[in-house]
A and B are shown apart, each in its own frame.
Chain A
Amino acid sequence: MTTDNNAPHATSGLGDDDGTAPEFTVYGGDWSDVAEEAARLGGQRLVFNMGPQHPSTHGVLRIMLEVEGENVTELRAGIGYLHTGIEKNMEFRTWTQGVTFCTRMDYVASMFNEAVYCMGVEKLLGITDDIPDRANVLRVLMMELTRIGSHLVAIGTGGNEMGATTVMTTAFVGREETFKVIEHITGLRTNNAYIRPGGVASDMPDDSVEMIRGMIPKVKERLDELAYLQLENPIFKGRLQGVAVLDLASCMALGVTGPILRSAGVPYDLRKSEPYAGYETYDFQVPTSTEADAYSRVVLRLEECYESLKIVAQCVDRLEASEGEPVMVADKKIAWPAQLSVGDDGQGNSFEHIRHIMGESMEALIHHFKLVTEGFPVPAGQAYAAVENPKGMLGCHVVSDGGTKPWRAHFRDPGFNNLQALSMLTEGGQVADVVVAIATIDMVLGGVDR
């Protein structure tokens, strides 16, 4: 590896490389060949890349590692490979269309992106208290189903990366059950654009209540299976216990939230500390641990899934009781005019709405056209909204210039913040523990890079 000091990088290369160190290029293959060759040349210290396209990096994450033997002496994470300019794009679309963009950030927990953005927009509009109860219940239902899905992905892919494929398949089977419900209600498995400023895109179909009630035991079964499969497994414990430890002081210094902070003993959960969407009315616990290691975080994620199922069950009862109530704010200057329905030719605007605007009222057609193409103006100012995403605190800073498009929308993805802790989680440990540390942070690079 050579270092060009005139390169436009702000930092020089890793280590004290004088340009004479031997360089090996490896694409897969047998690692021991490289190690032998390095040993023959007498080098102890190796600098190499893990990623950007490595199966254990949860997307495209580049990790620059400096190792001595099997020990990691320095680690740096390089991100940006999945930067898609979502925040910039949102400035060129209406407030409602923004949902379609931001849902694609952390694509494993997309409902949270939509929810936090909509809460920010509603704060700007001053309609936070006007959101119908049923819309809030549907939001909570969607967020908790997504939380289960996201945690299952974290546990499943984490197991897969350590070589336990069964953990992955079991987790994905469980996640599929949540997707069936999400798809039934929103029409899409992920990237739903379901939560909209003012409420949700559509009410749930009539048979959803039974479907959700049927789903709960199926997911619970998979969670039980994952717990039985992993938690007492000696290999699993050997790989995870005491690994990737981040104590409370480091968590606070690095602004780490979510399961990592809770594994260090702080029961910090925005659903409890700053309840939104009616979370204060649900009965659930915030599990914590004091072990602060990767193992305790797997346990916490499993426990949180059980708690989420409890919330889902409460949501179903409320949805049953509130059938027929509105799911969109009453203010017609903001509310999306159409409700979606499923017809013979697939999902689209409901037949009644089409008949009304095309056959009965020209004013309704104009209203629909203006609201859908131009959007609604949002009073000037700025607002900050935050929700508890499966990975931690997801924040959204929205600024309006009084127009129909965001002046600025910025997201504080917990993965972006927490990934900074990777060096502290891994340095001094072994190379194999790097994979565990990445899995325990559970960032999604779509959210990190945006």
Chain B
Amino acid sequence: MSDAKDMATTGADVSAVLPEGRTLINVRKGQFVSDADTSGYEGLTRFVYSPEAAKRPYGSWFDQVVDVLQELLGDKADAAIQSVVVDRDELTLHIAREHLVEVCQHLRDDQDLRFEFCLGVSGVHYPADAGRELHAVYPIQSITHNRRLRVEVSVSDADPVIPSVTAVYPANNWHERETWDFFGINFTGHPGLARIEMPDDWVGHPQRKDYPLGGIPIEYKGAEIPSPDQRRQYR
């Protein structure tokens, strides 16, 4: 497990550094409601990064899986696998979106990999991580070898396009619709990328960080109740 202190830097006027292979999860500025830091200390800004990329040997079965995948990808391996992170006994492969479908195909079909199940896709929004704001996280499970790894694809807010993996993992059909619905990640090649949880005519993608909680006032028995983000406690 990584040390939290190691991943954070502090300082007032430090601008965010984006180290290769790490996600800038958040820029924490203390709990002041306005931007002004009234502590007089001006040192509350913390940059919180995800754990750094792992170095070989990764340990456990991780080396073998990465080796096999690199061999199958051949020349494309370096471009496809952007970084490998081992944290909390879990393997995360950061994959370039152009190669996602091919990687999934190998993960599913190769006899040494055999990751038969994709357990869906979970979107995560990191507004501070410039150029890589939206992450799609695919937990992938092998029943044959009883392993689980995570494939992570990051795209920018301006170009939130990721190829759909439904051709390889049909189970991801609804999961991708859900991630489109909540995060606005456009999964190209999906057979019918409609909203799934929110109404079809909903505006916005509610689980993005810039979308407020609630967001709309609710009328109940004639009284209008302000949306939760307009109530002090949630700001």
A274 to B142, CA, bound (A): 12
Q: In the complex, which residues 180-218 of chain B have their Cβ closer than 8 Å to any Cβ of chain A?
A: 192-201, 206-207, 213
Among the stretches B70-78, B96-104, B171-179, the one at the interface with A is: B171-179
The one of B46, B90, B116, B207 in contact with A384, judged by C-beta atoms closer than 8 angstroms, is: B90
The one of B119, B123, B195, B200 in contact with A255, judged by C-beta atoms closer than 8 angstroms, is: B119
Asked if B65 is at the interface (CB within 8 A of a chain A CB), the reply is no
Q: In the complex, which residues 1-17 of chain B have their Cβ closer than 8 Å to any Cβ of chain A?
A: 1-4, 7-8
Contacts known (A88-B207, A403-B28); A9 close to B200, Cβ less than 8 A: yes
The residue on B at minimum CB distance from A78 is B196
Q: Are B192 and A80 in contact (CB under 8 A)?
A: no
- Report 18 cross-chain contacts, Cβ distance below 8 Å, ordered by A residue: A9-B194, A10-B192, A80-B197, A80-B198, A88-B213, A252-B116, A255-B119, A274-B146, A380-B4, A380-B25, A380-B49, A381-B2, A383-B88, A393-B141, A395-B120, A401-B25, A402-B46, A403-B26
The residue on B at minimum CB distance from A84 is B197
The one of B48, B173, B174, B207 in contact with A402, judged by C-beta atoms closer than 8 angstroms, is: B48
Q: Are A8 and B171 in contact (CB under 8 A)?
A: no
The one of A254, A268, A379, A395 in contact with B1, judged by C-beta atoms closer than 8 angstroms, is: A379
Q: In the complex, which residues 395-417 of chain A have their Cβ closer than 8 Å to any Cβ of chain B?
A: 395, 397, 399-403, 407-408, 410, 412, 416-417
Q: Are A10 and B171 in contact (CB under 8 A)?
A: no
Q: Are B200 and A92 in contact (CB under 8 A)?
A: no
Nearest CB on A from B199, distance (A): 7
Contacts known (A252-B117, A397-B137); A408 close to B48, Cβ less than 8 A: no
The residue on A at minimum CB distance from B171 is A255
A443 to B228, CA, bound (A): 30
Nearest CB on A from B196, distance (A): 6
A-side contacts of B196, CB under 8 Å? 79-80
A-side contacts of B199, CB under 8 Å? 80
Interchain pairs with CB closer than 8 A, number? 147
Please provide the 3 A-B residue pairs with the shortest distance between their CB atoms, ordered closest to farther.
Answer: A255-B171, A10-B194, A401-B26
A383 to B2, CA, bound (A): 13
A245 to B194, CA, bound (A): 28
Interface string of B145-162 (1 = CB under 8 A from A): 010101000000000000
The residue on A at minimum CB distance from B24 is A401
* Residues of A in contact with B (beta carbons under 8 Å apart): 7-11, 79-80, 83, 85, 87-89, 91-92, 123-124, 126, 252-257, 266, 268, 273-274, 377, 379-384, 386, 393, 395, 397, 399-403, 407-408, 410, 412, 416-417, 419-420, 449-450
Q: Apart from A273-B143, A382-B87, A393-B141, what are 6 other A-B pairs with CB-CB below 8 Å?
A: A126-B88, A256-B171, A384-B139, A386-B119, A407-B26, A450-B197
Q: In the complex, which residues 92-151 of chain B have their Cβ closer than 8 Å to any Cβ of chain A?
A: 92, 116-120, 122-125, 137, 139, 141, 143, 146, 148, 150
Asked if B169 is at the interface (CB within 8 A of a chain A CB), the reply is yes
B-side contacts of A407, CB under 8 Å? 25-26, 124
Contacts known (A8-B201, A266-B143); A384 close to B148, Cβ less than 8 A: yes
Q: Are A8 and B234 in contact (CB under 8 A)?
A: no
